[in-house]
Amino acid sequence: MEREQLDSKVDAGKALQRAAEIMAKLRAPNGCPWDREQTFDSIKRHTLEETYEVFDAIERRAWPDLKDELGDLLLQVLFYSQMAKEAGYFDLKDVAENLSAKLVRRHPHIFPAEDGTTVAASDSGAVLRNWEQIKLEEKKAKPAAESMLDDVPRSMPATLEAYKLGSKAAKIGFDWPDASGLFAKLDEEIAELMVEVEAKHNNNVEAEFGDLLFTAMNLARHLKVDTETALRRTNAKFRARFAAMEKSAGGSVALGALQPDELEELWSKAKQTEEKV
């Protein structure tokens, strides 16, 4: 068994090295024109797209697809690492070593310290508490940020950023005591949004809608709901119901010719059929 594990590690190392060498060749002077033109900024949107495609494969339990999508996501890492190497910042070896050091450092219950001692962690809750404490110690060693919220990247999707900002603020007690206060806050934000909609103040409508979304993200945090998973699940449900409407109508063209009350009837029928399954 140990021999098989060792062979597997060697094979994985060789495969990763080959992928890195291919990436380097694509970026070489005589390499692929498209790959050579790419920059850190031009690749960002591809990284986000590949991440969502990984999510989609997992949700569909499409394991062959997941293998492909993880390869595409790995390509992003190789791309960034190769560009960083060319610029003299770091290379793939630095990325891997930095990750390994972090994993070892943040799992003291698995990897002994230099004196042979380990930190006790009887369950996942204890592991997370240790993880957070170690992260705090790591941050103390870095230059002080102007705000504790600076740790939340502005570049992440806005809904996730809102979720993270609420989590950060909650650590110093700036938070709703429980979810009940957030339901009331949602009602308040909806009322404020309606005022601006009726007044046709478009700029204010955007601001109030943003406040509504921010409150919803904090409610999700209190309810321990993963907002991305929840919305993707609803999106999938909408797709299925809409497809059922198209089928009942005899196609998308026929569906588009129906009146609003007829569309609503088909929607209700799709929902009822879904509930019976």
| pLDDT at residue 203, rounded to an integer | 86
Average pLDDT over residues 139-163: 81
Q: Measured between alpha carbons, how far is 128 from 135 in angstroms, rounded to an integer?
A: 10
| pLDDT at residue 276, rounded to an integer | 65
Q: Are 213 and 235 in contact (CB under 8 A)?
A: no
Q: Measured between alpha carbons, how far is 272 from 56 in angstroms, rounded to an integer?
A: 26
**In this model, does residue 7 exceed pLDDT 90?**
no
Q: Measured between alpha carbons, how far is 121 from 262 in angstroms, rounded to an integer?
A: 59
| pLDDT at residue 208, rounded to an integer | 96
pLDDT digits (tens, 9 = 90+) for 110-120: 888 777 777 77
**In this model, does residue 121 exceed pLDDT 90?**
no
**In this model, does residue 128 exceed pLDDT 90?**
no
More confident site: 74 or 157: 74
Identify the residue whose tokens are 């909650």.
170
Percent of the chain with pLDDT over 90: 64
Q: Measured between alpha carbons, how far is 152 from 155 in angstroms, rounded to an integer?
A: 9
**In this model, does residue 135 exceed pLDDT 70?**
yes
| pLDDT at residue 207, rounded to an integer | 94
Q: Which phi-psi region, left, alpha or beta, contains residue 201 (left: φ > 0; alpha: ψ -120 to 50)?
A: beta
Average pLDDT over residues 245-259: 92
What does the mean pLDDT of the chain come to? 90
pLDDT digits (tens, 9 = 90+) for 60-79: 999 999 999 999 999 999 99
Confidence label for 109 from pLDDT (cuts 50, 70 and 90): confident
| pLDDT at residue 114, rounded to an integer | 77
Q: Are 145 and 151 in contact (CB under 8 A)?
A: yes
Average pLDDT over residues 57-62: 92
Gyration radius of the chain over CA positions: 25
pTM here is 0.64
59: closest CA among 224, 184, 239? 239
Percent of the chain with pLDDT over 70: 95
243: closest CA among 210, 267, 222? 267
Distances (CA, A) of 15 to 18, 51, 71: 5, 22, 11
pLDDT digits (tens, 9 = 90+) for 162-185: 999 999 899 889 999 999 999 999
| pLDDT at residue 106, rounded to an integer | 87
pLDDT digits (tens, 9 = 90+) for 187-238: 999 999 999 999 988 889 999 999 999 999 999 999 999 998 899 899 989 9
Q: Are 70 and 15 in contact (CB under 8 A)?
A: no
Confidence label for 156 from pLDDT (cuts 50, 70 and 90): confident
Q: Which phi-psi region, left, alpha or beta, contains residue 61 (left: φ > 0; alpha: ψ -120 to 50)?
A: left
